[in-house]
């Protein structure tokens, strides 16, 4: 065994031992599943019971910070605007209740699927718990409305909300193998827990996140989330094995989709329609429904990462996203540049200000002509910059294809083939087996004996 084989064996052994230490078995597995179900099943039951209460609350106008904190609640003015558009309050409440139920069903469905498939791994159990509990117990959703009607349920619902948001903090810090990396991340995990508890507290509490000045909240959150990002980068480069890196790519993709939607797309949209920023109005409901839809990328990518289903498709997805995302931006800039430039040229030459259809057609044809060559060029640049091994392997195979057309010596061709395989794939060993002429003739059913001897 050579050095590379020894390294591979030791790395695989470390991966197996790491997985083994995070698995449950025997009585520990039974206890872990029982605790998980004991927390999740009552939470799901409370959510189902709270739906009629939530449906009734949406039909009433919110009048104070507590009732206006209910998701999609409307003020009296919002309800009048709803009636003016010909919609009833009951129809509005039914639509939003069904919408929220579908969102929770998707998150919880992925969580229960992970529990069913990988409940013997403790971090998979944590991930499933986070996915199920996050929307069910989120402050302002249906379960919190149940606490308004039945104050005796306020303490258990608040406790479950703390567990749900705390599991999110644990997931972000411990992903993907369930261990603190580096060890000093325990301090930032504690700070993240404190931040989640302040989010759960009612708006009337002085320690609620709603009553903390924005600059103080940012002063606390920036170091915490900065440490989490640093931890994941450090873990990815120094600690994670190949499978864990693919898992990280999937979850990072989901987080990027969420951040892009919340901090880029939606703010641009609301800048054109300022009425969407007014809270507890019919307009704010429209933009409010977009947030849960954007967040759906989280359960999808987390489910793929934890279940380890089609992990390596992420490389193709990232590659296509980089190519076609960059291509779309460049073509849009070229299109608007051509339209503005040609209109300015026409106005300068003719003095006409009106937009000419010829300019639109010419710009569209230019974009159509640029699409394929620009896509190929971007693909080559991205492969060379981010997928160097794939790019080098393609160049090696391309050079070998050119050699095949000119090489006739079998021994030289064999050497070329072995060099190509070694450079492109870099295996530990390379060997080439060739049939002898007698074996080839026998396989084809052709006699190799001398005809004159018959």
Does residue 267 contact residue 210 with C-beta atoms inside 8 Å? no
Q: What per-residue confidence (pLDDT) applies to 437?
A: 64
Mean pLDDT of the region 151-172: 89
Q: Which of 97, 89, 95, 107 is nearest to 52 (CA)?
A: 97
| Mean local confidence (pLDDT), 89-114 | 94
| pLDDT confidence band for 366 (50 / 70 / 90) | confident
Q: Examine the pLDDT at 139 and tell me if it is beyond 60.
A: yes
What is residue 129's predicted lDDT score, i.e. its pLDDT? 96
Highest mean pLDDT among 343-352, 374-383, 419-428: 374-383
pLDDT at 233: 92
Q: Is the pLDDT of residue 8 over 60?
A: no
Nearest residue to 382 via CA among 314, 326, 312: 326
Least Cα distance to 265 among 291, 300, 292 occurs for 291
As a dihedral over the C-alpha atoms of residue 105, residue 108, residue 109, residue 114, rounded to 10 degrees, the angle is: 170
- Alpha-helical regions (H) of 119-241: 122-136, 142-149, 154-174, 185-200, 214-234
Which whole number is the average pLDDT over 410-415? 66
Q: What confidence category does residue 13 fall into, taking pLDDT thresholds of 50, 70 and 90?
A: very low
Pairwise CA distance, residues 262 & 285, whole Å? 15
Residue with the bigger pLDDT between 323 and 213: it is 323
**Strand, helix or coil at 121?**
strand
pLDDT at site 14: 42
Nearest to 204, CA basis, from 64, 93, 324: 64
Instruction: State how far Cα 212 lies from the chain centre.
Output: 30
> How would residue 95 be classed by pLDDT, with cut points 50, 70 and 90?
very high
The whole-number pLDDT of residue 115 equals 95
- Name the nearest CA neighbour of 327 among 264, 254, 377: 377
More confident residue, 55 or 211: 55
Q: Give yes or no for residue 285 having a pLDDT over 90.
A: no
pLDDT number for residue 101: 94
What share of the chain in percent tops pLDDT 90?
Answer: 26
pLDDT value of residue 453: 43
Q: How far apart are CA 241 and CA 198, in angstroms?
A: 36
Annotate 286-297 with DSSP letters as a single string. Answer: HHHHHHHHHHTH
Segment 369-385 shows an average pLDDT of 84
pLDDT tens digits, residue range 198-251? Answer: 877 766 677 677 677 766 777 778 888 899 999 999 999 999 988 899 999 999
**Above 60 in pLDDT, residue 261?**
yes
What confidence score (pLDDT) does residue 445 get? 59
Average pLDDT over residues 303-327: 84
Q: Which of 180-194, 284-298, 373-387 has the lowest mean pLDDT?
A: 373-387
CA 190 → CA 124, 228, 243, distances in Å? 21, 12, 28
Residue 83 pLDDT > 90:
no
């Amino acid at each position: 065994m050579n050095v590379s084989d020894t390294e591979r064996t030791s790395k695989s052994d470390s991966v197996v031992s790491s997985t083994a230490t995070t698995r449950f078995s025997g009585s520990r597995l039974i206890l872990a599943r029982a605790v998980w179900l004991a927390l999740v099943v009552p939470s799901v039951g409370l959510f189902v019971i709270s739906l009629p209460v939530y449906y009734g609350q949406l039909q009433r106008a919110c009048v104070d910070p507590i009732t206006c904190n209910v998701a999609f609640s409307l003020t009296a003015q919002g309800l009048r605007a709803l009636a003016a558009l010909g919609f009833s309050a009951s129809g509005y409440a039914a639509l939003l209740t069904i919408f929220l139920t579908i969102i929770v069903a998707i998150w919880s469905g992925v969580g229960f699927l992970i529990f069913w498939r990988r409940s013997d791994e403790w971090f998979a159990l944590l991930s499933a718990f986070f996915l199920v509990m996050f929307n069910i117990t989120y402050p302002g959703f249906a379960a919190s409305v149940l606490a308004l009607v039945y104050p005796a349920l306020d303490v258990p619902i608040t406790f479950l909300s703390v567990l749900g948001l705390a599991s999110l903090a644990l997931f972000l810090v411990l992903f993907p193998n369930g261990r603190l990396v580096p060890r000093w991340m325990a301090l930032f995990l504690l700070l993240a827990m404190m931040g989640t508890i302040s989010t759960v507290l009612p708006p009337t509490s002085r320690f609620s996140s709603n009553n903390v000045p924005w600059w103080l909240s940012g002063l606390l959150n920036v170091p915490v989330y900065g440490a989490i990002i640093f931890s994941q980068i450090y873990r990815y480069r120094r600690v994670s094995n190949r499978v864990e890196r693919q898992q990280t790519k999937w979850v990072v993709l989901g987080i990027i989709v969420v951040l892009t939607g919340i901090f880029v797309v939606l703010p641009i949209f609301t800048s054109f329609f300022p009425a969407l920023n007014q809270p507890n109005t019919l307009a704010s409901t429209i933009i409010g429904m977009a947030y849960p839809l954007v967040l759906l990328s989280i359960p999808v990518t987390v489910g793929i990462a934890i279940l380890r289903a089609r992990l390596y498709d992420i490389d193709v997805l990232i590659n296509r996203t980089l190519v076609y995302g960059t291509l779309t931006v460049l073509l849009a800039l070229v299109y608007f540049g051509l339209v503005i430039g040609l209109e300015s040229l026409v106005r300068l030459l003719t003095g006409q200000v009106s937009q000419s259809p010829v300019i639109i057609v010419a710009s569209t044809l230019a974009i159509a002509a640029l699409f394929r060559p620009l896509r190929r060029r971007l693909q080559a640049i991205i492969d060379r910059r981010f997928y160097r091994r794939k790019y080098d392997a393609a160049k090696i195979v391309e050079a070998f294809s050119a050699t095949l057309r000119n090489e006739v010596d079998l021994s030289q061709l064999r050497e070329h083939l072995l060099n190509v395989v070694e450079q492109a794939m870099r295996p530990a060993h390379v060997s080439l087996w060739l049939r002898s002429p007698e074996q080839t003739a026998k396989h084809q059913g052709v006699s190799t004996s001398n005809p004159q001897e018959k």
